Every structure is written in structure tokens, then in C-alpha cells.
């Protein structure tokens, strides 16, 4: 998989931050761990990916996340 240089650097930084701040030291967190999580999230929510270019796909997924962030928190007893 080809990553841009800035992506590789930021993924490495993120993996190191997550590794350093974990409370359970059982599983090591690496750049590949972060990539696998991101891929799994995209595959699980593939229905929100819309577009003909990388930029459009990114924008559609980001819009989905921003929509979720605007939703009021749901209580456990009330799923609506």
C-alpha cells in the first residue's frame, strides 16, 4: 500500500502516542494496528463513501463523522 510521506509520518506519530498512553500494556500498538483499525472502520461504514475521487471519498466520510458529532448524545435507555 502506497502512503504519502506526510501520512506515514502522522501514522507513526499517532501509533507512538497511542502506545505511550495505553493503560493495558498487553497488546502493542503499531502503525499497522492503526491502519487496520482505519480499514475496518471504512469497511464497516462503506455505505457512506460517495464520490469519484480520493478527495470526494474523503469529504463524504468526513461529512458523515461531522454529522455524527452534531447528534445529541443518546441515553442507554432511549435509542432514539
Contact call for residues 42 and 49 (beta carbons, < 8 A) = yes
Which grid cell sits at 4? 504519502
pLDDT computed for residue 78 by the predictor: 53
pLDDT computed for residue 73 by the predictor: 73
pLDDT tens digits along 4-57: 999 999 999 999 999 999 999 999 999 999 999 999 999 999 999 999 999 999
What b/e sequence results for 34-58 when a residue is b if at least 16 CB atoms lie within 10 Å of its CB, and e otherwise? beeeeeeeeeeeeeeeeeeeeeeee
- Give me the residue spans of the domains in the chain: 5-70
Amino acid at each position: 500500500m502506497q502512503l504519502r510521506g506526510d501520512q506515514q509520518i502522522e501514522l507513526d506519530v499517532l501509533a507512538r502516542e497511542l502506545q505511550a498512553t495505553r493503560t493495558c500494556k498487553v497488546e502493542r500498538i503499531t502503525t499497522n494496528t492503526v491502519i487496520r483499525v482505519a480499514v475496518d472502520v471504512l469497511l464497516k461504514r462503506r455505505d457512506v463513501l460517495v464520490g469519484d475521487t480520493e478527495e470526494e471519498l474523503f469529504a463524504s466520510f468526513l461529512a458523515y463523522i461531522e454529522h455524527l458529532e452534531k447528534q445529541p448524545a443518546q441515553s442507554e435507555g432511549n435509542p432514539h
